[in-house]
Structure 1
């Protein structure tokens, strides 16, 4: 049976051309080795090849998408989710430290120890204030760990090309990455919810709203993670930018205190940070009677920020990965 090069215009032919003349086969380019045999080799191939393909749906024949685009997209999303699971299992010790041990220390020290000396009105005192903030930190950090692992490994080890060469659209790749970040954020947040129940004896009064706030927050910070990682020239610089943003949003975004404790101008600045809406939404789910930002306002803020950020993420993703140049 012939190879992809025997069938010009096919998807396999596009992969053949990319492997031969793309970055993986850059050593065969005539500009690097202008020997006569190299020029003759290119001359033999030129009538049978296509230009170097761009990644995405436009490079694949229409009959391929008409036959099973939906099934291919679903299989691709499941494969990427399974990849995240395998990576988490491969580094299970680090995963347990990040998901279980670190938030447990935060909850015990700030909720159980420090909470005894900080006078806060309410049944559970300062523990009811800090626990939603710790859950918000898990919601914020987990999507970046998942998506950042994919993007950074794709940059340093060139593994992202394997996903980009799949017979799916770029938006399918984007949706798969966002879904992976949302799943990671939801799972990590639910683990912290269980830890808050075991350590501080806190249970949410409105579990449905808690889940809604966690999903919205995880989706929002999946978008933020992609923008921060893909907008700079190198994704490792984006990691530094995200660490600075995390510091600002952690200490000024109502994670260790409620919005009701702030006074102007800090209360105005806190409204610019998305962690404020996640933390206050979770506090509304845990203790509706305590002072906090209105639950509907918190959820509306998350949705509005996500709506504004979604087209920006789509543009950055397609601009950076539509013609993979790393």
Structure 2
């Protein structure tokens, strides 16, 4: 592997995050903090505990996952779309850099930014609600796996999109609604039986459930199933990226 090329692209993408600090870090942290203020403090004080946990603390894993999914997709999709938009993608494709090295560079940088953001939000949440992390290693595992998985998904969107507006369609119309309906603000156990079953078809439920288990030891579905589903999504998106580079879909045309 051409580590020099990987490091060069990785450093460039990370430097871009520094230049857009307000958009990539500060804005998501402020938005999430508002959720803690409104739902955790104002409304949460009037809501009974969930599984013995205060509502404000219960929100933390779901809100971190909400930011993690959206920012992973946004970082990776813009990172690969911009070279397409400016035409510099062809310089990368003609350089002695393999497809694997391109994916590792762009996806690695996007996932790194998302992990950093998730940890900052976690630290910020401690200012608003009492926190505990029962399984810190599992928490980091789910954090990294989710960041890498949805950075791959964002990479796919960036290849597929042929305009800036298309970069926002899937995150806004699909990912955000699925996250809100995936147990970010509630446990699916409180839903009627039919809707509990329907919620299990929402893939985000497994991500949030496994991540929340790492904090409090409670989950809507088995942590083993959550881990298998997360790895399954990772394998699926990896296979799609491999197919894209094999066929040259929207790259070589």
TM superposition score normalised by structure 1: 0.70
1:319 paired to 2:244: no
* Aligned alpha-carbon RMSD (Å): 2.3
Query: CA separation of 1:144/1:88 partners in 2, compared to 1, >3 Å: closer, same or farther?
Result: same
Task: Say if 2:68 and 2:147, in contact at 8 Å, map to a contact too.
Answer: yes
Partner Cα separation in structure 1 for residue 4 and residue 173 of structure 2 = 36
Give 1:239 shift: 2.9
Residue equivalent to 2:155 = 226
> Do structure 1's residue 156 and structure 2's residue 118 form an aligned pair?
no
Post-superposition offset of 1:115: 0.9
Write the distance in 1 (CA, Å) between the matches of 2:52 and 2:197: 29
User: Considering only CA atoms, is the larger Rg found in Structure 1 or Structure 2?
Assistant: 1
Show the 5 A alignment for 1:105-184: 105-184=34-113
Taking the aligned partners of 2:173 and 2:245, their CA distance within structure 1 comes to 22
Contact 2:182/2:199 (CA < 8 Å) preserved in 1? yes
**Aligned to 2:223, which of 295, 306, 315?**
295
1:38-93 per-position Cα deviation (integer Å, ceiling 9, x unaligned): xxxxxxxxxxxxxxxxxxxxxxxxxxxxxxxx3xx211221122112211121222
- 2:234 is aligned to 306
Residue 141 of structure 2 corresponds to: 212
Q: TM-score, normalised by structure 2?
A: 0.89
Q: Is the 8 A contact 2:13 2:106 kept in 1?
A: no
Higher RCO structure (Cα 8 Å, ≥6 apart): 2
Secondary structure at 2:43 match in 1: helix
Cα distance, 1:272 vs structure 2: 2.9
Question: 1:135-192 CA deviation, whole Å, 9 max, x = no partner?
Answer: 1012212222221222331233223334333311112212222212221221111111
Task: Identify unmatched segments of 5+ residues in structure 2.
Answer: none
In structure 2, what is the equivalent of residue 286 of structure 1?
A: 215
Specify which of 9, 14, 24 is matched with residue 95 of structure 1. Answer: 24
Report how many aligned residue pairs link the two structures: 253
Task: Give 5+ residue unaligned stretches, structure 1.
Answer: 1-69
